[in-house]
Each structure stands twice: as structure tokens, then as C-alpha cells.
Amino acid sequence: MSARIENLYLPARPTEVRRGKGWSTRFAFVLAAAGSAVGLGNVWKFPYIAGEHGGGAFVLVYLACVMLIGLPILIAEIVLGRRGGSSPIHGLRALASREGRSPNWRYLGWLGVAGTFLILSFYSVVAGWSIAYLWYAVSGQFGAAAADSAASAGALFAGLKASPATMLACHALAMAATVLVVARGIRNGLERAVRWMVPGLFVLLVALVIYAAVATGEFGRAAAFMFRPDFSALSWDAVLVALGHAFFTLSVGMTAMMAYGSHLEKKVSVAKASVAIAGLDTLVALLACLAVFPIVFANGLQTEIGPGLLFVTMPIAFGQMPGGEFAGMLFFLFLGLAALTSTISLLEPTVEHLEQRAGWNRRRAAALSGLAIWIVGIGSVLAFNLWSGFTPFGKNLFDLLDFVTANLMLPIGGLLIAIFAGWGLSRASLAEELGLGESPVFRLWRFVLRYVAVPGVVLVLVYNLL
């Protein structure tokens, strides 16, 4: 896979982008953006929301959302970032003024900073779970977890949820790793980190799918669950979740990709890169499901068990397979690293804003915003134990933050990005930035952005809010 992408994006000579600190090669950008997209959203979240919403029909709606809404807006977001050429808030304001639009477009940048800040606060808690599970693998706890499969694997996860101290420590480790990478900057930090993490996770997932298929013999049932749509099980609520997840999984709608795009040199084709990012991202999500669901069916687990799904199923597989402690260690290591390539993109918009606005250096901006996000994340940690009874709007804090960011802020941010790119920028600016001229691909993209993505998001939002 990576070899194929590499062919498309021959390494270019390092060029001066944003004071010479941009991505060193085209491939580095694609890898970083794919690293941002591929993360806990694919491996942890997608299987459990697909399980909660009945599989097939949900998966189909999700795929449609990725192709018709997520991908066109991903292209738009990177285009806005590169054309703005600065941190998201500042870049949007500069771009709006150049195009003769209202300076209020900068508030889209503020929405992005607020959204990435909030997402990172609970995302880092789940990244912490992978760190805890890495420890469980190293200390040989999966064998016992698999002994009478479902019950004891569930107990391992329940034990973690019941311990605020462990979760807080792991959440702290995850934030610290993120801060360290971001503090080092684009080239020395972000770029070096992503080069090997994404390919590694991919290889391991393929191996797990094969193992799950062979060892459980339930591949057929898992595939049927995933790909045989039963539309009677689909609600408008599920459509909103699918739409929100399309944004979440592609890292679209919250200016993270805008920040990454602002460091991209002009020669790179945004459209091709975006297709590669979305394709790889979707593949990883489907692979994760095909690794998880055979184990669910073989052990009589429920598909609807929610956020614990991955952390309950995988120890069963690792506990039973020969060499499972080692495989488990690799899996949770790579999952943690895949989470890291996403958390760094979630911290980047806030850091770039603080650098520009407050004049702080990168290290200070990363450390202080990381600390603030860690503190906000404590609420999500306690939602699983001490504060589990605190449920405003019928959801605990963790679920509430997830709902508000993924199902409201991301679609709204994505919608505004689509409107600004689709109508705010002149056709000539867009054509120039995409580098495709007035080609059919350019016209198709702009058409889908204006007349499919925008009404699509509006329809789903309106239906759910009414």
C-alpha cells in the first residue's frame, strides 16, 4: 500500500514552505495526513458504532458519507489551508479579506480550535487505554482474560474503567507524548513520527483479520453483518452518527487538515492526496471490523456493547493465539502510535494559534495547551467511575463530549468549510489552488461540494435537531 502511494508522490526536494519549516516531501504530507486520519476512530470507534447501529446499512451510509461529503470537504479544507498559508484562524481571515468576504470567517477557525481541543481531551483518555493494554500484554494478563473468554475479558476492561488513578496516569502519558512530538515541530517531530507508525499498524491489522478468520471460523458471519444491509434497522439518529463519523475519521471539519495543508508546497495535488488519504482510512476501518466481529460472534458477545468493544474482544484473541502476548503487545503499541499520529494533529491548531497570537514559542505553546487539555480530560476519566452518575442530557461526560464534537461541531465546521470553499472563494482561486484547471475532475468536485455535500449535511442536521 505504502509503495503504491509512494509512486504517486515522488519525493520532491525540500522546499521553502512557511519559513522553510514545511513538510519535507510530498510523501511526508500524505503520510502525516493519513496518520491524522487513521487512528482510534478507525480501530476503536468505527467497529463499536457499526455494532451499535446494526452493521450493514450503517456501513453503507457511512461509506456514502465518506465519498460524497467527507472526501469533497477534505479537499476543500486542505485547499483553504494552503491558500490561507497560515495558522487556521489567521489564514481564514487573510483569505476572506483577499477574496472580499466577511472577516467573520475567522470564527470558523475558532470553532476548529475549540473542537480539536475538546476532541483531544477525551481522545487522549482512550489513547491511554491502549497504553494500559500495552502494559497488560507485557505483563501477561491476556491469557487469564481469555480463560473463560467473554466474562474475564470484560472484567479486565471493567477493572480499568473502575480505576481513576490508572486512567489518569495513562491519559497523562498520552498527552505528554503528544506534547513532546508537537513541540519539536513539523519536520523533526510530526514527520519523523508518522513515517513508520501507519504502515506498521496496517500490516498488523491484516494479520489479525487473517487470524480471526482462521481461528474462529466466523469470518462469513462477520462479513454478512458488515456488508448485508438491513435498512429496517436504520434510524435518522444512525445517519447522523454515520455522517459525524465520516468527518471524525477523516479529521475533517475542525481545521486540523487546514493546519496541515498550510505547510504543503504548491506542487502537490490536493485531490490525489485526499483520495489516497480517504481510501487508506476506509480500508483500515473495514479491516478493524473484520478483525473484531469474528471474535464477537465466536464468543457470544453482543455487537452493541459500546466503547469497550475493542478492548474486550482483542484480549480474547491474544489470550488464545500462540504467541498472543507478543502479538498483543505489538497491536496495542501500534494502536497507541496510530493514536499519537492523530493526537498531534489535534494539538496542532491550538499550538499554531498560540504561536501566532500570543507570540509563544512552539515548546511553550505545546506544553501549556497540553496541560489545559489534560485537565479538561479529567472529566472524561471520571465519567467512567466517580462521576458516572452525572449525566446531563442523559449522557455521561465522555459520551456527551463525543456527541457534541462528532455529531454537532464536526458537521457544522465541515458545512462552513464547504460553503466558504464552494461559494466564498472565486472559481479562479479554486482552480489555481487545485492545479487541475477547468478539468472535468475540478468541475465534478465543485459540483459535489456545492450541491451534494452542503445539502446533505444540512438535511441530516435539520432532521436530527427537529
Q: Do 340 and 127 meet the contact criterion of CB atoms below 8 Å apart?
A: yes
Residue 173 or 213: which CB sits closer to ligand TRP? Answer: 173
Which secondary structure element, helix H or strand E, spans residue 255, and what is its range? none
Residue 209 or 409: which CB sits closer to ligand TRP? Answer: 409
Distance separating alpha carbons of residues 381 and 167, to the nearest angstrom: 6
Which of 17, 25, 34, 36 is close enough to bind ligand TRP by CB under 6 A?
36
Stretch that binds ligand TRP, among 91-99, 152-160, 170-178, 250-258 (CB under 6 A): 250-258
Is residue 397 near ligand TRP by the rule CB under 6 A?
Answer: no
Which of 248, 260, 334, 398 is close enough to bind ligand TRP by CB under 6 A?
248
Residue 270 or 340: which CB sits closer to ligand TRP? Answer: 340
Residue 282 or 342: which CB sits closer to ligand TRP? Answer: 342
Stretch that binds ligand TRP, among 85-93, 202-210, 245-253, 430-438 (CB under 6 A): 245-253
DSSP string, 138-185: HTT-HHHHHHTTHHHHHHHHHHHHT-HHHHHHHHHHHHHHHHHHHHTH
Which of 17, 28, 37, 146 is close enough to bind ligand TRP by CB under 6 A?
37
The three-state secondary structure class of 240 is helix
Which of 87, 121, 149, 251 is close enough to bind ligand TRP by CB under 6 A?
251
Which of 28, 33, 40, 454 is close enough to bind ligand TRP by CB under 6 A?
40
Q: What are the helix (H) ranges across 304-361?
A: 309-320, 324-357
CB of 232 to ligand TRP, least distance (A): 29
Stretch that binds ligand TRP, among 32-40, 147-155, 230-238, 394-402 (CB under 6 A): 32-40
CB of 401 to ligand TRP, least distance (A): 13
- The mark string for 107-126 relative to ligand TRP (x by CB under 6 A, - otherwise) is ---------x--x-------
Residue 111 or 316: which CB sits closer to ligand TRP? Answer: 111
- Dihedral sign of CA atoms 207, 311, 45, 372 in order: negative
Is residue 39 near ligand TRP by the rule CB under 6 A?
Answer: yes
Rounded (5°) CA angle 28-76-252? 70
All three cell numbers of 413: 465546521
Phi, psi for 458 (deg, rounded to 5): -60, -45
Q: What is the C-alpha radius of gyration for the chain, rounded to an integer number of angstroms?
A: 21
Other Cβ atoms closer than 10 A to 375: 11
Q: Do 407 and 457 meet the contact criterion of CB atoms below 8 Å apart?
A: no
DSSP string, 68-125: IIIHHHHHHHHHHHHHH-SSHHHHHHHHHHHTT--GGGHHHHHHHHHHHHHHHHHHHH
Nearest to 121 by CA among 393, 410, 379: 379
Is residue 282 near ligand TRP by the rule CB under 6 A?
Answer: no
Residue type, 93: R
- The mark string for 289-328 relative to ligand TRP (x by CB under 6 A, - otherwise) is ----------------------------------------
Is residue 345 near ligand TRP by the rule CB under 6 A?
Answer: yes
Name the residue with the smallest CB distance to ligand TRP. Answer: 41
Is residue 130 near ligand TRP by the rule CB under 6 A?
Answer: no
The footprint of ligand TRP on this chain (CB under 6 A) covers a number of residues equal to 16
The three-state secondary structure class of 230 is coil
All three cell numbers of 151: 466474562
Q: Do 315 and 296 meet the contact criterion of CB atoms below 8 Å apart?
A: no
Residue 157 or 247: which CB sits closer to ligand TRP? Answer: 247
Residue 33 or 61: which CB sits closer to ligand TRP? Answer: 33
Name, in order, each residue with C-beta under 8 angstroms of 317's C-beta and a sequence gap of 6 or more. Answer: 146, 208, 211, 212, 215, 291, 295, 324
Residue 111 or 150: which CB sits closer to ligand TRP? Answer: 111
Residue type, 388: S
CB of 447 to ligand TRP, least distance (A): 25
Which of 30, 108, 346, 381 is close enough to bind ligand TRP by CB under 6 A?
346
Q: Which residues bind ligand TRP (CB under 6 A)?
A: 36-37, 39-42, 116, 119, 248-249, 251, 254, 256, 342, 345-346
